[in-house]
Structure 1
C-alpha cells in the first residue's frame, strides 16, 4: 500500500501468513497498524515476512504506531516525520535484521544505544534526518560485528560530525570497511 491518502485503518492480517514483503507507506491518515503487527499480546501473524517498508503515517502522531517484532524480518525501511523524537524501540527486537534504512526522522537527535543489539545487521543507511547529531557509542557500534557498510545522506549535522578532519562521531564507525558520508566515501 503506497500513498493511500484516505486510508485510516488496515484490515486484519490474519490470512496473510505466507506474505514475504509488505509496504505500508505514505498513508497520511493512518494512526495504527494491522492486527498482525501489533504490540498487543496477540502473536504475530506475519511470521514469514522478510521485507518491511513502513511509514510515514499521520503527521499528528507523537510516536510511531506500535508493532510487534517479526522474527524472520531481514530488511526494514522505516520512514518517520517531523514530530518524532525517537526511533521505534521495537526495532531492537528484530534478531534477523540484515538491512536497515532509517529515513526522514527529522526530530531524532541520536541513534539509540540499542542499535548495538542488532547482531545480524550488515548495512545501515540513515537518510534525511535533519536534527540527527549522534551515533550510538563506540561499544554499541563495535557489537555490530556483521556491519560492513554505513551510508549517511542528507543528515547535515551528523555529516558534519563525521568529517575526516575533526568529526567527533567518525571514530565510532571508522572500523567499518565501507563508509559513505554525503557524497564522500571514506577509505579505510
Structure 2
C-alpha cells in the first residue's frame, strides 16, 4: 500500500478541517446561546472529525516512518556491501583476505573460529577440518554452528557466498 499518494490531499483536507473548526468555534463564541444549541451537533461532529483525522494523520506518518526506516536499513546494507566489494577489488590478491579478516573481527570470532572459517572458505568439509585440526567431528560441528550464529548465516553455502559474491561480475 503506497501511502505517499494520499499524503498531500489528506494534509489539505486536514488543514481545511482545522480552519473550519476554528471558524466554528469563533462563531459559537460570538453567537447568542440559542444559535449554539441548534449547531452543537454540528460543532461536536466537526470536533470529532478533526480528532479522528488527527489520529489518522499520526497513523499515516507512523507507517511512512516504518517504510523509510526499512528503506534506510536496506540502503545501509547495500552501501556496506559496496564498500566491502570496493576494498576487495582495489587489491584482489590481498584485499580479499584482509576483508575476510576484518569481517571476522566484526563478528567477534575467536581465533579457533577464524581458523575454521578460513578452512570453510577454502572448501573443507567438517570431516576434513576435524582431521586437519585433530579434533572430534562434534567439536568442529559445534564451532561451525557458533560461526554461523555469530555471522547470522544459515549454513556453509551462505557463509561462503557472503565472501565470494563481491568478486562475481554483475549480471547483464
Q: Higher helix share goes to which structure?
A: 2
Tell me if TM exceeds 0.5. Answer: no
Tell me which interval the TM-score lies in, with the shorter structure as reference length: under 0.3
Q: Higher strand share goes to which structure?
A: 1
Q: What is the TM-score when the length of structure 2 is the normalising length? A: 0.23
Larger Rg: 1 or 2?
Answer: 2
Highest RCO, 1 vs 2 (Cα 8 Å, sep ≥ 6): 2
